[in-house]
Amino acid sequence: MIRLRIKEVAVEKKISMRKLAKNADISYNTLRTIYRDPYRQVTTTTLDKLALALNVDVRELIESVPDDPQVPPQIDT
């Protein structure tokens, strides 16, 4: 499972959500959703914008974590 580390990186760099959303040219609501759900799917474009705004390699914004056996997998229908 992939987990987004955007919130952690932004906090480390002391960048507010509003400033990050503005600098990345994404909506504040999109960023808030990502902060609240780090397992949410995002587009590569959004990930690239956030990496650029945070001045990090995109690989620093994601991490691989073990699947949680307590959470049943979502099935797309």
Say what the pTM is: 0.82
Percent helix, strand, coil in the chain, to 5, is: 50, 10, 40
CA 9, 20, 17, 1 dihedral sign is: negative
Query: Residue 30 has what pLDDT?
Result: 95
User: In this model, does residue 69 exceed pLDDT 60?
Assistant: no
37-54: pLDDT as tens digits: 999 999 999 999 999 999
> Higher model confidence: residue 67 or residue 65?
65
Mean pLDDT for all residues in the chain: 91
Burial classification of residue 50, based on how many CB atoms lie within 10 Å of its CB (0-12 exposed, 13-18 middle, 19 or more buried): buried
Enumerate domains of the chain plus CATH numbers. 2-55 (1.10.260.40)
